[in-house]
Structures are given as C-alpha cells and as structure tokens.
Structure 1
Amino acid sequence: MSLKGFFLLLSIGAFTAYYVYQPIPDEIEEKWKLMLTDCFFRTLSHLADFSELLGIKDYMGVMMFITFAERVVPVSDEHVHVTEGLFDGVEVLVYQPKLQGGDAELRRAVIYLHGGGWCLGSSRMGPYDFLARQMVIDLNSVVVSVEYRLAPEHHFPVPYEDVYRVVKYFLQRDVLAQYAVDPGRIAVSGDSAGGNLAAAVSQQLQQDPEQEVQLKVQALLYPVMQALDLNTPSYQQNQNMPILPRTLMVRFWSEYLTSDKNFFRAMMANTHNTPESAALLKFVNWSAFLPESYWGKYNYSAPSVVLKETESGSDGPLRSIADPRASPLLVPDADLLSLPKAYVLTCEYDVLRDDGIMYAERLRHAGVQVTHKHYASGFHGALMFTLWPTDFMIARTMTENLIKWLQHNL
C-alpha cells in the first residue's frame, strides 16, 4: 500500500471513529452497543434533514424507515391468538391467550399505545409484538395494541381521539364479554408518546359521567407529559443523549401540533407560550415538583411568553399546548384525585425524565397510589430494545419489572 493510500485509509478510519463515538455516561451499560445503535439513528436523521432541505421527502417521511425496518406480521402461535380488527373505525391488534379446555376464567386486559413521538412507530413493530406476547403469556391477559393515526399527516387531537375511541369501545360490557375480560381488571399503558396518550385517556375517561367501566391501573413508561417548558433540567442535561436528543423531541412536539416551521423554532428557543398557557406553568415549575436531587446546576426560569397566536382558529398550536389532552401534566389537582393506580417509569439519561417525575409527584400529592421506577442507568426508548441486534439487558429488566407490577396490581 502506498503512503497516500495508507493516509487515506487512516483518515477514513479516524472519521468513522469520530462519527460513531458519542460520549456516553459511565453508568450506562453496553455503551458501545448504544453508540452503534445511536449512530444509525443519527445517520438517518441527517439523511432526513438533507432530504427535506432538497424537497425530496419530508423529515418524518424519511424517519419512518425505522418503523418499516422493524415491522413484522403479527401471527398466531402455539400460545397466542392474534387478530386484526377495527374498534370504532380505528385499527387494532388483539392478542389473546390460546383457549385451554374448560377455561372460562375472566382475564385481565392491557390496552397498549406505542411510542414514536406521535409521528413514528406502529403496533406492528417487532418490539411491540414481543411485548404484547409477553404480557399475554405472563399475565394471561388480552392485549389490545392500537394503530392510531400519525402526525404530521394527522395533527393533534387526531391521534388522541383515535385512542380514546378505542378505549371507550373496548370498555363496553358486551365487548369485554366477547373477549372474556374482567371489567375490574383493565389497564392502559404506553411508552413515550404512548405514555402521554395513556395518561390523557386516563384523565378524560374518569371525567366522563356516562362511562360505567373504568380503568384499574395506568402504566406510563418514560412518558411525554408537557410542552410548556422544554428547558427543564433533564432537557438540559440530556440534550445530546441517545436515542432522543432535545432537537428531535422538540421536532416531535412541533410536528404533532402544527406544520408551521416557525413554531418549531419558537419551541427550540422555549419562547412559544401565550398568556393562556403561561398561567399553567405553575404545574410545570420543576423547582416545586421535582425533587432537589434532580435539579443539577440549573436554576428555574419561566419560559418566555408569546403575546399572540401565530395561527388563526381554536386549533392553533399555541392553544393546543395548553390542552391537557396534549399535555396531561397541566390538569389541576382536583382532576388527579380519582385517577387509577399508576406505574411511572423514568430514565436518568432522558430529556423526558422530569416530565415523568413531576407527574408521579403530583399524583402522590393528590393521593393516587404511585409506583415510580427510576432507572439510574436508563436511556430513552430502552424498553423497546429487546430484539437482536439491538437487544439490551436493561430492556429485559424493564419488561420483567413492568409485568411483575401488573401481575400484583391488575
């Protein structure tokens, strides 16, 4: 090899190492596996930015590759019977235990809502299919996995309304009887944006005077809970962490609420509040609701206020961020009192850490029974990394702990 070729190879190797390497906290296990996984996500994100810049395809359209790459065909096996259907017009996958001879016992049920920032993800992805099967087998439960419509094609409140319709439909006594489900043993659960939807549905359902069957528990896994302050300590501490850097989470929020790119820039600067939403910042004041051990070196300062709506009409994004169906952390204490028992999972190395912790604290103060499981070595999305080649030990641990809690509380 010539000296020129040697230096070229060395330069390529150095650039590759530089690109792949990300400073990962020592507390996180399997650091190199996380680096390589994040390298794929970052590369796809760069391609999505470039594609949108050239007008080839929008950012989320390119990022949907993750959803397609992990898509499976959920089929029945020797333990689990899988069917596809429509609940009040919304696509669902229903996982049921294979019937045993003489088995007439009413079962638990879990309504599961996938993550993906309201813009990505599918109940048909391998990790969600794996989780649903584990719940069926370990809990002897029926699992309803919801294929709600996604932004940016369908902005808020469409994804929320899809989920709410499914839950209302499933909680009808004749539907529960069809699936041999005990009306007193039903959970709603979701991760990330799915956790947001699960919390919002739990709140709205218990305010419905016509709703006879209620949820017994809610399991919120590193949930998104508010859009008013995108500069909490965890947003600052983990702004460049895999798998969900601050820029991507802000983009998810923006795409969920509007197609206005100016709103994304305002959210990035944390200057997107109106006087109406600013009045609700008291529920997001992390110096009041976040234990001091999580404050770090940061000082609380309320986000800036925008004086007028950027879009006309009641559905503009500045109005939507104050809607508790989008930001469940914003409800007053009185609306928390009768909520079902909760399991809240948070991760130290996650921009959404403080959202989940503040909600768990507010639920406790309202008298709701809360199990808060915090993973000091956890990172966002970890629960979904259960399948090769992105199988992480912490994902198995999270799954086991979630199912154990459901076994004892559902």
Structure 2
Amino acid sequence: MKSNSKIAFLFVMIGAYYVYLPIPGEIEQKWKLMITDSFFRSLSHLADLSELLGLKDYMGVMMFITVAEKVVPVTDKRVWVTEEVFDGVDMVVYQPGQQGGAWELRRAVIYLHGGGWCLGSSRMEPYDLLARKMVVELNAVVISVEYRLAPAHPFPVPFEDVYRGVRYFLQGRVLARYSVDPDRIAVSGDSAGGNLAAAVAQKLQQEPDQQVALKAQALLYPVLQALDLNTPSYQQNQDMPILPRTLMVRFWSEYFTSDKTLFRAMMTNSHNSAQSAHLLKFVNWSSYLPESFRGTYRYSAPEAPAVSGGLDLSRTFQAIMDPRASPLLAADRSLRFLPKAYILTCEYDVLRDDGVMYATRLSRAGVNVTHRHYGNGFHGALMFTVWPADFQIAHRMTDDYVSWLRENL
C-alpha cells in the first residue's frame, strides 16, 4: 500500500511539475491557463517526436486541435446557417432568422479564423459561437471563410482564397441576395486571420474597379510582420502559454516553405538580406512602440547573415517582404485611405508589438484607430469561451469587440 502511495505521489509531483509555468500575476485564472497550455505543449511534443521519427509532419499532428474543436454549423431558432461556395472558396454563412423585415438591409462581418495559416477552421466551435453572437447582437450577416491551409497550400494561396471570396461577396448582386447594406461591411479576424484581414483591406483599396468599400477592419491580436522576430514582445513572451516564440516562428516558416533552413534562420532572427534593408524602417519598434511597450529593451536592426546557409532567398524572401504576407510593410501611402480600425492586443503575447506598431502607423496615416490593449491578456484568449477552457477575459474581449462593431459598423 505504501509503495502504491509513493508511486501515486511521484506521478502527481511529475504532473504538477509539467503543468506548472511561471505565469505573470496579472493574468487571471492562472491554473486554468497552465492546465490548458499543458495540453497544447503535450501535443506539440508529440508532433515533434512524430516528425523526428518520420511518422507524420508537425502540422499534421497539430491539426488534432482543429479536428477536436470542429462542429457542424446548423440552423437554430435565431440563426440561419448555410454552407456556400464563393468563386471556388468554401464559406459558412450565418444570417438572422426571423429578425426584422424581409428587405431590411443589415451589417455584414467577413470573419477570417486564426491558426497560423496552418491550423484552424471556420467550423471550430469557438468561431461558430462567435459568429452566432454577432448575428444575434448586431443583426448582421457573418461570412466565415474556409481558406486553404499551409504547408500544403503555402503563401500566397490562403490570401488569394480569402481575397477571391471577399471580392465575390462584395458584388452588388451578392450583397442584395443576403440583404446586406453595402455601406456597412467589415473584415475581421484573429491572429493569422487578423493578418489576412489587414492584407485584404489594403489590397481592396488599391483596386480602381472596386465599387464597394469596407467600412471597418477589426484585427484581433494580429500577426503583421516577419522581418523582425525579436521585438520586445517576442523577447518578453517567448515562453508564454498558447503561442510561444518557437511555435510562432514555425508558423511563419511553414507559411512560406517546408524547408527547415528558413525555420532555423528565423529562430535566430537572421533571415533578412540586403533586399529588406529599405523595409526595416516600417518595423523599427524604437519609432513605433510607445516607451511603455519598449521597457528595458534596446533596439538593434536585424542583420543579414554572412551566408544564407543554403536558404533560397530568391524563392522565399520576396514572399517575406510582400505586404500581402506582412501588412506592416505597406508604404505610408497605402495606409491613408484604409477603413477605420479596431486593433486588439494582449500584453502577454509575442504578437503584441505587431498590433501596437500597426495602430501607430495607421494613426499617423490619418486612419481612425481604436486600440484596445489588455494588460492581463494572452494570445488566443478571445477563443476560450467553451468549457472547460472557459476564461473570464474571453467574454470581456468578446463583449468589447462586438460593442465596437455595433457602434462603428
């Protein structure tokens, strides 16, 4: 009996050691976050092992997160759900049920899911619930885009899917079919979805033949640049739950290529070249980050490596520099006529500084920007609204986000 007790105690201690992370005191529900993150870390370790043994690639194993969260979007008493195809792109369309008159024009939100361009789906339960909440509380039509994923479909495929689907939806005849007011349309997304939303907003306003313009863009802890992966937030939060620096760098590298040379170069922030020198000014965080975000960190521009280490820059670096992949690299003149913006950032997130710098640049370009920063927030928090990973901050974030859309769309 004593032997069994000792073994049980040993397993408890090992489990506690594995689960425990030194999480900042400002974060609420710390133990729940530790337990939640331990699942993600365990899956990541399994994915590493699987790839090492040649069984299945890393992202193939991590896709379990997407599969486990998937639901079948169905119509209920308040929300009518259909699955459509817009110019070859799968969409889940959420519309108000019997609310309002038959010809009442409504707001529309085009939503792009996160997942580092490699994971995620519009059919995951948190996105399904968020879409229903927007439909009911905003009397809006929500278009949730099911774009193809890397690494099977690397950049620019996910962007092109989204852009093609959005352009199709913005046609007058399509908007009329869904009773959408052409003057009240927003594009929105979280994390990699925020990246795609920002890129689509930029691209649309550059099209001379685009007759319907977006009224708003709402970017939730967006990832916006791949040139400097050593900003203060990348350094401060490199081991934070949900999205550690290593995972974000892996997402970036897999978005462009499965060549591990790029991943290794990005991990040391040595993936730049002379070609990017003129773009580094747009990610100079000593210029675009308020002092409160810079903290004790001192800026130094990323340097190009002496040798490329076998990395084929001709294939990959043009993509890294492309504003469709890194919207923060867009020239000032490309920002001036963008729609009003809501940018959500979290203190304990490697992507915090991307969002802060973009908010700064948009404001300086004359765009109406609402920057909502959560001093106790962590990456992905808004999606944790489903038991057992149900966080109080997620509900506050959701309410603030929907409230902004109600007032600005």
Matched residue, 1:385: 384
Q: 1:285 to 1:102 in 2, by over 3 A?
A: closer
User: Match for 1:337: what amino acid?
Assistant: R
- 1:301-320 equivalence runs, <5 A: 301-306=300-305, 316-320=315-319
Give 1:266's aligned residue: 265
TM-score normalised to structure 2 length: 0.98
Instruction: Give secondary structure in 1 for the equivalent of 2:35.
Output: helix
Q: 1:311 Cα deviation (Å)? A: 5.7
Q: What is the alpha-carbon distance in structure 1 between the residues aligned to residue 276 and residue 101 of structure 2?
A: 56
Aligned to 2:29: 30
**SS state of the match for residue 272, structure 2?**
coil
Q: d(CA) in 1 for partners of 2:187 and 2:300? A: 34
Q: What secondary structure, in the 3-state scheme, does the structure 2 residue paired with 1:321 have?
A: helix
Contact 1:275 1:307 in 2 (8 A): no
**Counterparts of 1:214 and 1:101, CA distance in 2:** 25
Shift of 1:278: 2.6
CA offsets, 1:326-372, max 9 Å, x none? 00000111110000000000000000000000000000000000000
Post-superposition Cα deviations, 1:269-298, rounded to whole Å, max 9, x if no partner, equal 000012112320100000000001111221
**Counterpart in the other structure of 2:43:** 44
Q: One-letter code of the match for 1:73? A: V
In the alignment, what sits opposite 2:13? Answer: 14
Matched residue, 1:157: 156
Tell me how far apart the structure 2 counterparts of residues 356 and 10 of structure 1 sit (CA, whole Å). 45
Q: Which runs of 5+ in 2 are unaligned?
A: none
Could you tell me whether the CA contact under 8 Å between 2:99 and 2:139 is conserved in 1? no
Q: Which stretch shows the higher mean deviation, 252-261 or 304-313?
A: 304-313
Aligned-CA RMSD value: 1.2
Structure 1 residue aligned with 2:231: 232
In the other structure, the counterpart of 2:94 is: 95
The amino acid of 2:148's aligned partner reads: R
Name the structure 2 match of 1:394. Answer: 393
Q: Distance in 1 between matches of 2:234 and 2:11?
A: 33
CA contact (8 A) 1:111 1:145 kept: yes
**Letter matched to residue 51 of structure 1:** S
Instruction: Confirm or deny: 8 A CA contact 1:275 1:306 kept in the other structure.
Output: no
Aligned twin of 2:252: 253
Equivalent residues in 2 for 1:231-380, closer than 5 Å = 231-306=230-305, 316-380=315-379
Q: Distance in 2 between matches of 1:335 and 1:102?
A: 39
Deviations 1:212-233 (A, max 9, x none): 1010000000000000000000
Give 1:313 deviation, angstroms.
8.4
Percent sequence identity is 70
Is the contact between residue 97 and residue 137 of structure 1 (CA under 8 Å) also seen in structure 2? yes
- TM-score w.r.t. the length of structure 1 is 0.97
Aligned to 2:204: 205
Task: Tell me, yes or no, if the aligned pair for 1:277 and 1:321 is still in contact at 8 Å.
Answer: no
Structure 1 Cα separation of the partners of residues 181 and 31 of structure 2: 45
Kept in 2, the 8 Å contact 1:277–1:319? The answer is no
- 8 Å contact from structure 1 (residues 278, 305) kept in 2: no
